Every structure is written in structure tokens, then in C-alpha cells.
Amino acid sequence: MPAALLALAISAFGIGTTEFVIMGLLPEVAADFGVTIPAAGLLISGYALGVVVGAPLLTAVGSRLPRKTILVALMGLFIAGNLVSAVADSYGLLMVGRIVAALSHGAFFGVGSVVAANLVAPDRKASAIAMMFTGLTVANVLGVPMGTALGQQLGWRSTFWAVTVLGVIGLVGVITLVPRQPAQDTGGLRGELAVFRNPQVWLALAMTTLGFAGVFASFTYIAPMMTEVAGFSSGAVTWLLVLFGAGLFAGNLLGGRAADRSLMPSLYVILAALAAVLGLFVLTAHSPVPAAITIVVFGAVGFATVPPLQMRVMQKAEGAPALASAANIAAFNLGNAIGAWLGGAAIEGGLGLTAPNWIGAVLAVAGLAVALYSGALDRRSTAADLVENKQGAIAR
């Protein structure tokens, strides 16, 4: 794998840390601003919606710029957003900082996925994307637990100061390691938008949204679930996030390899496994050891979806993939927002802290249904092409 992927992974590490670390600090943030846990959870939804808006918007604005230039500008925006979060003295200002940082997120991963895929041979594209997203998984193994521990000891603002430093390191890495790729003639913004005429692109975005809504319906409320249901102490949440992050790391790499070998069958198996694990989590969340084991498996199957889902939308948007790739990152985060909202609504509705797990299972099943339908359309199209080719051969 080229060294440039390391620079992308470093930036992904910083972005992943700021996205996920707030989950381990929900109790501290809620107490500081005098809001409820579900209200604090809206900081996750706000970030996710910022990604949904920023991913297509900023990618479209930079459609004619060199991709390295776009990546550098996006890291600058990320740093600015985390500075605002670090100095926030109100819930509203913290939300603003989260949204500013989020605006860079989707476009960075969208453009970065295209850059990563173009650095390697065609049969390793999903693995290259997985390598970039490894920074996101390592953020969950190291960045999120360390950020959670730092925030619990020195105040949650200290975590955002640390993330700001990570952003600067990522910026330097992009400037020094990522090469300038020859500009691809995609027809500009009009060419990028044209790929959305393909229904399969929209189906790919739908399975991403539903699949990750399932993940975040549960993961958003992992801290209160583990402390109030499983019986862990607040200090143990850090180590539980380490376990979750270890699962993410393994699942991401395995998902990339599986997607390179057989894309759609891999998605079927992974989404089915995600639904099963979330359904099981409703039961295992009541006991410490089974809960901890389930968290590892949940992390693995949850993030094993990422490389194949990202590869699927790029495959269907071939020729002008940047905007569709960024839109898929927006779909991931739209799923995050929907999942966090549905999970919070279930808790506020008195269904209990384990309710987000079965809600997540239902969402994962919906994502699997979309994937099966999309695969059926592929097979129908292939069969039609074979018939057409056969008829053409007979005519000749």
C-alpha cells in the first residue's frame, strides 16, 4: 500500500476521534450544560447532519479543484470547528463547533476514498479504501478511549483541544505525503450529478443509511447502557470502547478483503450478521461478560459494512465517483443521525436503555432487504445483456 494512504489514515484518525469521542462524554457534557442524556445525544445527530450537508456541498464546490487542494482545505475547516468546540461555553456554541467540523468530514472521506482507490490496482480498491478507514477504526481503539479518559479527568473541553492538535498533524501529513493526481475529466459538477440518474446509486445510498442507522441506534447510547444496565462503572466505559474499537479495526480490514473478492454476497452476510448481533445485544446487555463480548462482535460486523458499502456506490458511479462517494459518507451520517434520534426517542418513550438494540436490528434488516433488491436488479440486468448479446450474435 502506498505511503500516501498513511496520510489519509492519519487525518481519518483525527476526524474519527472527534466524531465518536462525544459518545463516551455524554454524561459529562449533559451535566455541564444541565441537559438530559438524549439532548446531549443530539450533538451526535447535529454532527451527522453537518456531514450530510457538507459532503455533497463542499465536494460540488471543489469539483474542478485538484483533489489534494480540496483535502488540505477540508482539514483546515476541521481544525477550526474543533477550536470552537474546545472554547464553547454553552450547549449552542458546542453544537456550532460540532457542525463546522462535520462540514469537512463527508467531503474528506468522499474525495479521500477516490484518491485512495486511484493509488492501487483495480483488484485492491476496496482494500485501499479500508486502509484509509483504518484511521477511523484506530480512532476507536486509541483516540476515543484516550479522549474519553482525558475528558473525564481534565474536563471534556480538553478532549477537543487534543483533537485540534490531531487535526494539525493530519494536515501536515496530507501536505507532505499525498501526491497530486492527474485531474479526471468527469464533466465537472454536471458530470458528477449525472450519475444520480442511476437508480442503483440511490439504492446503494439507501442501504448505507439503513445499515449505519442500525449501528448508531445502539452505539450512541452505549455508555449509559453499559453503566446502568450491564452494571459497569463509568471508568470501565473507556475499556469497553477499546474493545469496540478493536472489533472495528478487524471488521474494517476483513470487510475490505471480502469486498474485493465478492462485493454483494459480502454485504448480504455482513448486514444479516449485524441484525443478528443487535438482536442478541438486547439480552446480553444485562450481564457484564456477555455484554463485553457482544460489544467486540458488534464493532466488527458494524464496521465490516464500510468498505463494501463505499465500494458499491463508487462502482455504480463509475466515471464520476467523487460526488457520489461523498454522498455515501453523507448517507453514513444520515444513518447516524436517524439511529441516534430513534434510539433516544425509544429511551425517552420509556422503552428502556436496551431498546436501541432491537431498533438497530430492525434497521439492519431493512438495509439487507434493499441490498437483496439491488443485487436482484444486477442479476436481471446481466441476464438481459446476455440475451441481447446472444440475439446480436444470431443476427450476425
Q: What is the pLDDT of residues 32-42, one digit of tens each?
A: 888 888 888 88
Quick one: pLDDT at residue 142?
83
| Cell digits of residue 104 | 469537512
Structural domains present in the chain: 4-178+187-395 (1.20.1250.20)
pLDDT tens digit sequence for 221-231: 988 899 999 99
CA–CA dist 245, 234 (Å, integer):
18
- Per-residue pLDDT of the chain (396 residues), as tens digits, is 678 888 899 999 999 899 878 877 888 888 888 888 888 888 887 887 888 788 888 887 877 788 888 899 999 999 999 999 999 888 989 999 999 999 998 889 888 888 888 888 877 888 888 888 888 888 877 887 788 889 888 888 999 999 999 899 889 989 998 888 665 555 666 777 888 889 999 999 999 999 999 998 998 898 889 999 999 988 888 788 888 888 988 998 899 889 888 889 999 999 999 999 999 999 999 999 999 999 999 999 998 998 899 889 988 887 677 788 888 888 887 888 899 889 989 998 989 999 999 999 999 999 999 999 999 998 888 766 666 666 665 655
Q: What pLDDT is recorded for position 384?
A: 64
**What is residue 394's predicted lDDT score, i.e. its pLDDT?**
61
